[in-house]
Amino acid sequence: MTALVLDGVTKDFGDKRAVDDLSFQVQDGEVFGFLGGNGAGKTTSLRMVLDIIRPTAGRIEILGRKPGRENSADLGFLPEERGLYRTMTALDTITYFGRLKGMTRNDARREGRALLDRFGLGSSAGTKIDKLSKGMAQKVQLATAVVNAPKLLILDEPFSGLDPVNQGLLEAEIQRLSKAGSTIVFSTHVMQHAERLCDRLLLLAQGRKLFEGTQDQARATLPARLLLVSRSTPAGLPGVVDAAQTGTRDGWSEWDVRLAPGGDPGDLLQACTERGFALRRFEQSRPSLHDVFLHIVGGEEGAA
Ligand SMILES: Nc1ncnc2c1ncn2[C@@H]1O[C@H](COP(=O)(O)OP(=O)(O)OP(=O)(O)O)[C@@H](O)[C@H]1O
Ligand SMILES: [Mg+2]
């Protein structure tokens, strides 16, 4: 089944177009990264999926149904604006949300305790929300989103406000939920999280989709970059647009080589072989998603 479908979705606020003809699908079981810079339209899109606001145009299907309250038992949502009842205890808060999603009180409490333990908050179960630190409260809010083991979990900037240890904890929790069968959509502008978690990702800028695909497909949008250790310069070989010497030892030089867009490292290797080019290393470096993001979004803004 397809967990989420957006088809030509547009959202206008007055004369501001926040989301522009956005179409994509998230398949069952995927971890899907919803990426884009500030103001790209991520929160607006997710709020339409959750039926908090309505699209100006287009169609949304969530777990095979229209957006609406009746989906809530199958959904988990961590909103960008965090907010809990300040005078409720951590465990009561999680139990309350579990009950709202149709769990029995016992199940909700048991799962709440397990979540608090996993999140390092076991000893704070009876602490009121307003006595918790911001990051601790955020972990409680995350627990309210996942207490019902949702079929579809939607997290808007879940990593913001968490220290590195807790960011790691959250990554582990996302992986655990994914293994247990949840489909997960999360927004972020920190590419390292996406890099470690996503099966597929979508890149949004100014409300428009610039890219959708796997991480490998995203990396393939960047011209190839290679590390070569050779006796002579690769400059001038077919496809090479830049070759910088980064070191030399015993007559062997190390080169940072960039190919033209669409250039194939296989063709370069073949050219090296044909010319009897002495090679000790020939490695394709893997661009980071951060580089991909800057390349795709930067290219778009450069063109605009
Ligand atoms: N209620 C609103 N009224 C008017 N404009 C809005 C409203 N909500 C969002 N916008 C505008 O829509 C655009 C997209 O905002 P959105 O919050 O969806 O971005 P985002 O990708 O979530 O950004 P961030 O990474 O900063 O959270 C922005 O230009 C924003 O100013
Ligand atoms: Mg946002």
Name the band, by pLDDT with cuts 50, 70 and 90, for residue 303. Answer: very low
Within-domain flag for 86: yes
Report whether residue 205 contacts ligand 1, using a CB cutoff of 6 Å. Answer: no
Report whether residue 44 contacts ligand 1, using a CB cutoff of 6 Å. Answer: yes
Name the band, by pLDDT with cuts 50, 70 and 90, for residue 301. Answer: low
Predicted pLDDT of residue 144: 95
**Tens digit of each residue's pLDDT (9 = 90 or more) over 108-164:** 999 999 999 999 999 999 999 999 998 899 999 999 999 999 999 999 999 998 999
Predicted pLDDT of residue 299: 66
Contacts of 105 (CB under 8 A, 6+ apart): 95, 99
Rounded (5°) CA angle 156-158-161: 125
Distance from the CA of 189 to the center of ligand 1, in angstroms?
14
The domain boundary residue, chosen from 161, 191, 219? 219
Atom 26 of ligand 1, residue of closest alpha carbon: 38
Query: Does 162 share its domain with 280?
Result: no
**Tens digit of each residue's pLDDT (9 = 90 or more) over 224-264:** 889 999 988 888 888 898 999 999 988 899 999 999 887 88
CATH classification at residue 257: 3.30.70
Distance from the CA of 35 to the center of ligand 1, in angstroms?
14
Report whether residue 18 contacts ligand 1, using a CB cutoff of 6 Å. Answer: yes
Atom 10 of ligand 1, residue of closest alpha carbon: 18
The domain boundary residue, chosen from 219, 243, 268? 219
**What's the domain count of the chain?**
2
Indicate the pTM of the whole model.
0.86
**Tens digit of each residue's pLDDT (9 = 90 or more) over 19-34:** 999 999 999 999 999 9
Query: Does 16 share its domain with 72?
Result: yes
Query: Does 252 share its domain with 196?
Result: no
Q: Which atom from ligand 1 is nearest to the alpha carbon of 11? A: 12
CA distance 95 to 116: 11
Q: How crowded is residue 52: how many other Cβ atoms within 10 Å of its Cβ?
A: 13
Atom 11 of ligand 1, residue of closest alpha carbon: 18
Which ligand has the minimum distance to the alpha carbon of residue 49?
1
Predicted pLDDT of residue 304: 43
Query: Does 69 share its domain with 208?
Result: yes
Full domain range(s) for residue 135: 2-219
Q: Which atom from ligand 1 is nearest to the alpha carbon of 47? A: 18
Report whether residue 52 contacts ligand 1, using a CB cutoff of 6 Å. Answer: no
Report whether residue 154 contacts ligand 1, using a CB cutoff of 6 Å. Answer: no
Report whether residue 263 contacts ligand 1, using a CB cutoff of 6 Å. Answer: no
Q: Which of 77-81, 91-95, 220-224 has the lowest mean pLDDT?
A: 220-224
**Tens digit of each residue's pLDDT (9 = 90 or more) over 159-195:** 998 999 999 999 999 999 999 999 999 999 888 899 9
24-28 contacts: CB < 8 A, separation 24 or more?
24/202, 24/209, 24/212, 26/2, 26/183, 26/185, 26/200, 27/2, 27/3, 27/183, 28/1, 28/2, 28/3, 28/183
